[in-house]
């Protein structure tokens, strides 16, 4: 039972410290307030290599460079907003994990929906075109004038008209 408890404790420690392992000891600022601000900013910036992690969670060399850049800007006296703006100006809006709502982000969210609607509409339209005519569709009888024209055409071509009941 003790081996099992030890194993579970090790697994819990491995999962608990996973995100904190990305920030290396030489990156941590001596000022706890600045470090907390750096962590807050880093958690909102996307790792450009991993793309699904913040730079605070990523071990990629570029993420380390971005973490160091954030800390340098904070040490230089920049506000949190200035640091975010600096990084966004340098790397584009893609670096933000939660980009602000703009026409570009709306297009990104609406375009797949519009494509799906158009695909469904085109499929339904093509499907309707391929459907055979309904079996119960009735053909209107010929008018007396149409019937006499038909008889004259058939007589010219020497084909016998069908006998009607």
Spatial CA neighbour of 41 closest among 91, 102, 92, 82: 82
Residues 6+ apart with CB under 8 A from 67: 23, 27, 38, 42, 55, 56
Residue range 106-143, pLDDT digits in tens: 888 899 999 999 999 999 999 888 876 655 567 788 89
Selected residue with higher pLDDT from 103 and 159:
103
Q: How confident is the model at residue 165 (pLDDT cuts 50, 70, 90)?
A: low
Helices 32-42 and 61-75: angle between axes, nearest 10 degrees: 130
Q: Is the pLDDT of residue 11 over 70?
A: no
Q: Give the per-residue pLDDT at 18.
A: 46
Beta bridge partners of 45: 96
Listed range (7-11, 21-25, 71-75, 87-91) with the worst mean pLDDT:
7-11
Question: In the chain, what percentage of residues exceed pLDDT 70?
Answer: 82
Per the prediction, the chain carries an average pLDDT of 82
Q: Is the pLDDT of residue 9 over 90?
A: no
Which residues on adjacent β-strands are paired with residue 96? 45
Question: Residue ranges of the alpha helices (H) in the chain?
Answer: 2-16, 32-42, 61-75, 80-91, 103-130, 144-156
Kindly state the average pLDDT of the residues 25-34.
82
68-99 per-position pLDDT tens digit = 999 999 999 999 999 999 999 998 888 988 88
């Amino acid at each position: 039972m003790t081996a099992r408890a030890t194993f579970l404790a090790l697994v819990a420690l491995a999962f608990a410290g996973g995100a904190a392992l990305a920030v290396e000891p030489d990156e941590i600022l001596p000022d706890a307030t600045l470090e907390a601000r750096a962590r807050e900013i880093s958690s909102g910036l996307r790792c450009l290599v991993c793309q699904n992690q913040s730079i605070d969670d990523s071990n990629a060399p570029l993420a380390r460079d971005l973490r160091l850049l954030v800390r340098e800007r904070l040490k230089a006296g920049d506000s949190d907003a200035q640091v975010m703006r600096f990084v966004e100006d340098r790397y584009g809006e893609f670096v933000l994990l939660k980009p602000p709502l703009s026409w570009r982000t709306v297009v990104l969210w609406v375009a797949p929906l519009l494509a799906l609607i158009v695909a469904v509409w085109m499929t339904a339209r093509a499907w309707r075109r391929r459907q055979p005519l309904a079996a119960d569709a009735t053909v209107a009888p010929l008018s007396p004038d149409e019937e006499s024209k038909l008889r004259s055409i058939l007589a010219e071509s020497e084909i016998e008209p069908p006998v009607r009941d």
